[in-house]
Amino acid sequence: MQIPKTHPRYESLMKREKIVEALDKGILAKAGLIAHGRGETFDYLIGEETTPIALEAIKAAAALLVLAENPVISVNGNTVALAIDEVVELAKELNGKIEVNLFYRTKERELAIKNVFKEKFKDDIEKGKIKILGIDDANKQIPNLDSLRGKVSEEGIYTADVVLVPLEDGDRAEALVNMGKKVIAIDLNPLSRTARKSTITIVDELTRALPLLIKYVRDFKNKDREELLKIVENFDNKKNLKKMIDYIADRLKKLELNEL
Ligand code: ATP
Ligand code: MG
């Protein structure tokens, strides 16, 4: 479908197109459509822009990623469908590790995702700038998760100190935190279990948050460790989520009064 650029919901419709295309290509599970819809709803409530509250979380996440010894970016079908370029760009600023981790893991979908990376980023993979983990090497198990969802790569999530998990499931976020890892989630729903269980939750839309995260990671590489540690220590995830919920509530009240 051709969507005119002038359409007031152009950005949102384009994302839907990408999601549907990913379903057709076997990258996305059907349930991924529903997850996207839930995200859209919360984005509507937030006002479809990065809030100053989310920006605080983005800065804390960037500081944590720069301080990390072995960070890994975990990707699922939705993330690949919407933001594969940004994921690769961010991985290249870090140690290059990307791990495929699917809620509905099937060999077909794993391979479909691996192929997209291979087609688009052949050069980066061959030169070792990025590594796609979690498909041929997912032979470790996250404790207290059922076997398929808990399969991870030893070189990747299993030994990572910081895991960035855009659109994670609550159970897995919790299991990763219980393993002693720092978990950064990007999730539009400030009420989700993922949002509550993660170390740092960025309540923002994936494709808006990632470019900002990349910008701050680049920026923060020039700062000293002490300064970055302070940024991380001063961040309180519970407080940030509470501010986000207040933000939505205030916005709804203003809408009710026609102030927006
Ligand atoms: P939880 O298990 O954490 O309680 P959930 O079961 O409500 O979460 P899931 O279906 O596991 O939700 O995952 C979908 C989550 O991803 C939703 O919270 C949704 O808001 C979020 N989401 C979907 N699309 C995006 C997007 N493009 N950017 C950011 N978040 C998104
Ligand atoms: Mg869930």
Domain boundaries along the sequence of the chain: 52-250
Tens-digit pLDDT profile for residues 230-245: 999 999 999 999 999 9
Rounded distance, CA 127 to CA 58, Å? Answer: 29
Distance 169 CA to ligand 2 centre (A): 4
Cross-strand pairs, 67: none
Looking up tokens 């002038």 gives 6
Average pLDDT of the chain to the nearest whole number: 95
Contact 182, 201 (CB under 8 A): no
User: What pTM does this model have?
Assistant: 0.96
Tens-digit pLDDT profile for residues 77-119: 999 999 999 999 999 999 999 999 988 888 999 999 999 999 9
Ligand nearest to the CA of 32: 1
Within the chain, strands assigned E span 71-75, 97-100, 131-133, 140-141, 151-152, 162-166, 182-186, 200-202
Ligand 1, CB within 6 Å, residue ranges? 35-36, 38-39, 42, 78, 82, 167, 169-170, 186-189, 192-194, 205-206
Q: Which of 190, 220, 248, 199 is nearest to 38 (CA)?
A: 190
Distance 57 CA to ligand 2 centre (A): 21
The pLDDT of residue 260: 67
Q: For ligand 1, atom 6, which residue shows the shortest CA distance?
A: 169
Mean pLDDT of 149-176: 93
DSSP 148-185: TTTEE-TTTGGG-SEEEEET--HHHHHHHHHTT-EEEE
> Which ligand 1 atom minimizes the distance to the CA of 171?
2
Ligand nearest to the CA of 34: 1
Contact 216, 164 (CB under 8 A): no
What's the CATH class of domain 52-250?
alpha beta
pLDDT band at 257; cut points 50, 70, 90: confident
Tens-digit pLDDT profile for residues 27-68: 999 999 999 999 999 999 999 999 999 999 999 999 999 999
The pLDDT of residue 1: 63
